[in-house]
């Protein structure tokens, strides 16, 4: 499992020019699953998301977690995170989990997160427009292959 985490001042996701989810201060999380991902991978990523100290404290030092600031998460599925660009100019997405299985994993991951923090999502498999106001900018990649 791989995620790209962006600290956000405000963000939203549109489908067919209609806003389906939005957050104020929090995290935008782009998530992708690969074959072999399991519950333990989701738990690892969830713990990291909830405890990463990437929000400023009173002295401007990144010392607070999303839970500390009362933020929320905008979670968006993005199968392109496992793109393989080693050969040619057209990326291969063979490492990304198949659609139906990935959808099931995404729903389970969304449920886990939402039990711990306000979580909003895009629409799995849809063509989405993301409007992200990256705060900092702060962008972090977390990959369970490197845990």
| Catalytic residue numbers, as ranges | 78-80
The Cα 93–Cα 97 span in angstroms is 9
Per the CB < 8 A criterion, the answer to whether 34 and 49 are in contact is: no
Quote the CA–CA distance of 41 and 23 in Å, as a whole number: 25
Write down the number of H helices and E strands in the chain: 3, 8
The continuous run of DSSP H or E covering 18 comes out as: strand 18-23
Q: Where are the alpha helices (DSSP H) in the chain?
A: 39-51, 66-69, 99-114
């Amino acid at each position: 499992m791989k995620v790209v985490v962006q600290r956000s001042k405000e963000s939203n996701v549109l489908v067919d020019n209609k806003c389906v989810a939005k957050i104020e201060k929090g995290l935008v999380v782009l998530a992708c699953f690969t074959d072999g991902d399991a519950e333990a991978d989701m738990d690892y990523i969830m713990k990291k998301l909830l405890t990463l100290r990437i929000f400023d404290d009173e002295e401007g030092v990144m010392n607070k977690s999303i839970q500390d600031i009362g933020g929320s998460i905008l979670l968006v599925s993005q199968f392109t995170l496992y793109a393989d660009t080693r050969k040619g100019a057209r990326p291969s997405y063979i490492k990304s989990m198949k659609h139906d299985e990935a959808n099931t994993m995404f729903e389970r991951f969304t449920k886990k997160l939402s039990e711990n923090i306000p979580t909003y999502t895009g629409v799995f498999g849809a063509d989405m427009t993301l409007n992200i106001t990256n705060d900092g900018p702060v962008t972090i990649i977390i990959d369970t292959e490197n845990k």
